[in-house]
Amino acid sequence: MSGEHGFGQTARGVATVDELLALLADCADAWDMPDRSGDPVDILDHDRQCAELLRVSFPADAELQVAGLVHDIGHVLVPGDDAGHGRHGADAVRGLLGDRVARLVELHVTAKRYLAAADPAHAAALSPSSQRTLVAQGGPMTAAERRAFESDPDFEAALALRRADDAGKVVGLTVRPLGEWRQLIERVAAAAE
């Protein structure tokens, strides 16, 4: 898994598209919870489902789609840090994929906290794993935190990523293979240079 490509325990930057694809491939049979009590699909399957949902709903937003594809790599980079996995993933991809992709990766946790406070139906529909980790991530936002987040320029995109994150946990769902994302990742990486 993560040790194979030099990842783990410290979230260093991913320098190339090949390195990113290798890290994503390492997410196959890696789980958000070490004992597999969390989400019902491995991280690679989950990330691909999330990216596919965003590709369908936001076909013109390549950065959002790529953020969906990489949003949970922090679980592999620093196993067991549920509260910090968004930050670890963001730090790892910022140099390659740019600030907006990194911000969206980090904000997917913030958006979960927002939706847990602002949308009772969404909060009730969180998976048991997401409900458990919400506590470690700071719990539902206060009213002041919600107002501040609503003024963030990436607010709507972060909510879209979070909703795709919550929906992308379907066992047996067929989605495009990882290699088919290479061209889009390369395009986002080139634009970030």
Digit-coded pLDDT (tens) for 25-83: 999 988 877 777 678 899 999 999 999 999 999 999 999 999 999 999 999 999 888 88
Determine contact, residues 112/134, Cβ cutoff 8 Å. yes
Cα separation, 57 vs 34, whole angstroms: 31
pLDDT for position 164: 96
What is the average per-residue pLDDT within 94-110? 97
pLDDT for position 135: 84
**Degrees, nearest 5: CA angle 170-130-70:** 65
Confidence class of residue 136 from pLDDT cuts 50, 70 and 90? confident
Residue 34: what residue type? P
What is the average per-residue pLDDT within 75-100? 94
Cα separation, 96 vs 67, whole angstroms: 12
DSSP for residue 15: -
Confidence class of residue 160 from pLDDT cuts 50, 70 and 90? very high
What is the pTM (predicted TM-score) of this model?
A: 0.91
pLDDT for position 11: 52
pLDDT for position 2: 40
Cα separation, 91 vs 144, whole angstroms: 26
What is the average per-residue pLDDT within 100-115? 96
